[in-house]
Amino acid sequence: MVTDSIQLQPDAKWCKTITQLRIAELLGKAIRRIHNDDSISALFI
């Protein structure tokens, strides 16, 4: 498993053993919570 925070190499996109997870929503929530001085620990449990 890898995240989509960096682009996969072209040949890795077709590899059946690699699963790419989208993290945009999680990063957005974390940034918002940090900006508002809220806890981010609940996002990662």
Rounded alpha-carbon distances, angstroms, from residue 10 to 15, 35, 43: 10, 35, 31
Give the pLDDT score at 12.
86
Instruction: Give me the amino acid identity at 4.
Output: D
Average pLDDT per 10 consecutive residues for the chain, totaling 45 residues: 90 88 94 96 88
Round to whole Å and give the CA distance between 39 and 22: 22
Domain limits at 20? 2-44
How many independent structural domains does the chain possess? 1
By C-alpha distance, which of 1, 4, 45 is closest to 24?
A: 4
**What count of Cα atoms within 13 Å lies in the side-chain half-sphere of residue 20?**
12
Give the pLDDT score at 13.
80
Output the pTM of the full model: 0.66
